[in-house]
A and B are shown apart, each in its own frame.
Chain A
Amino acid sequence: MRQCLAIAIVAALTAVPATSQSHSNFEGMWSDPPFTAEDTFCAAWCTDVGLARLEALLDNPANDKRPFADLSAEAERYQRDQYIRPHLSDANVKKFPLDPAADPGFLRCEPWGVARQIAARHQLQIRQTGRDRLDLRYGEWDAHRTVYLDGRQRPAGQAPTAMGFSVGHYEGGMLVIETTGIAANLTSYSSDHSDRLRIVERYTRSSDGKRLSLTATLDDPVSLRQPIELKKVWSWAPTSEIAPYKGCQRPTEFSTGK
């Protein structure tokens, strides 16, 4: 009896999302990506340009003695300079990258907006709440957003909000979410955006059900010359839990040089 119970618990903990149902197969808890160089590079966000650079660095024998963190940092700088920067508007290039010490999340414990939240590290919990909507909950800031699946439009005149207004649908095995009505805020790539930002997220799951991938296209005629495409990866993490945010402390000291 006890053995059966143990087997049942193990089975429940290791179960992966169903692979045959298109509407519920993203549900559950996702968190840190697989322990590979490429997926770790995309734990927050990455680009195809950055991934290609990382692959080149990993393939070069001259880099074999360098720690991965160095190569990752070099690829990150490369994608910022060769991909992100050329996509920014003139006004945004001048202030790129933004000073991390000026981050309201850091200075005033202000939760992030959706443009940053979609690339947050760690947990993402996806739940179907009723037939017509999804609840996306993030470990970072314990933030929630609702995605409407019933084809509704953003209400006319609705003021922009930090998390915006999201509608979604399925395209085969892909979950597609479009978000507009986003209040001007910061992005994950150290730049800001206007309230004309439009984000399209495309989520897919690996055939074994254990890996969740996001490709997000951000389009903003004010802050960008052309749309930016970001990528991110999670692993299936049924035992992971999201803890409340509390005790956020404002920093009391700053650098005299970074």
Chain B
Amino acid sequence: MKTSHAVLFTILASALVVRHVEAHHSFAPVYDAKRTIVVEGVVKEFRFINPHALMLMDVADDTGKVVTWTVEFAGRLNLGEGGWNERTVTPGQKVTVTGNPTHTNSPRMFFLHLVRADGSELFPPSKARQDAIEEQRRQRARERTDGKQ
């Protein structure tokens, strides 16, 4: 089966960048939090394990050569809290994944966002927490403003 065409580019979508408040173990030695890349491919395997869940995906470059990428997630203990399970990502799915690249630009990334072919999306479980906190902050700002009036 021919894999999807690979797309690698840096994006400026700061809204997608969920900080690694839940990142397990040492993130900085391997991944570059200041850069973001997007990769399209087909899922080979999803390992829902501790301490880090992993996904292997086949990605074709511009010449058609297929490279297997590793996408690293937080551990099962973290993803499970957000409702993920072994079937959240399944082999054969066409996916577009956004993540932080390695410092060495090897075929490996730390997960930030995934879009399936049907348009459904996956975010790290920490996004719901971040959204709730930002809403509380907006409320706090409104109350501060109201208090001055």
Contact = CB atoms under 8 A, between A and B. Distances in A.
A242 B50 CA distance: 10
B13 interface: no
A253 B136 contact: no
A80 B77 CA distance: 27
A35 B76 CA distance: 20
B110 to A, nearest CB: 12
B22 interface: yes
Interface string A24-45: 0000000110011100100100
A142 B30 contact: no
Interface in A125-149: 139-142
A103 B24 CA distance: 12
B21 A251 contact: no
A241 B132 CA distance: 24
Given A255-B103, A256-B104, A36 B29 contact: no
A8 interface: no
A244 B51 CA distance: 9
Contacts of B104: 253, 255-256
A106 B26 contact: yes
Interface string B136-149: 11001100100000
Given A101-B26, A142-B50, A253 B102 contact: yes
Given A37-B136, A122-B78, A244 B50 contact: yes
B76 A243 contact: yes
B13 to A, nearest CB: 13
B8 interface: no
Which of B30, B47, B104 is most buried by chain A, counting CB atoms within 10 A of its CB? Answer: B30
A94 interface: no
A105 B104 CA distance: 22
A204 interface: no
Contact of A251 (B18, B29, B81, B129): B29
B63 interface: no
Contact of A255 (B25, B30, B132): B30
Contacts, number: 109
**Interface of chain B, helix or strand or loop or mixed?**
mixed
Contacts of A251: 29-30
B106 A245 contact: no
Interface residues of B, number: 38
B19 A67 contact: yes
B137 A247 contact: no
Size class of the A contact interface (CB-based, 8 Å): 35 or more
A101 B18 CA distance: 22
Contacts of A241: 80
A100 B50 contact: no
B19 A258 contact: no
Interface string B74-87: 00111011000000
B133 to A, nearest CB: 5
Interface of B: 18-19, 21-22, 25-30, 32, 47, 49-52, 54, 76-78, 80-81, 102-104, 106, 108, 128-130, 132-134, 136-137, 140-141, 144
Given A242-B77, A256-B103, A257-B103, 9 more contacts: A59-B144, A122-B77, A142-B50, A243-B77, A243-B80, A246-B49, A247-B49, A248-B51, A253-B103
The 9 closest A-B pairs by CB, nearest first: A69-B19, A100-B26, A101-B29, A35-B132, A255-B103, A139-B77, A106-B26, A245-B50, A122-B77
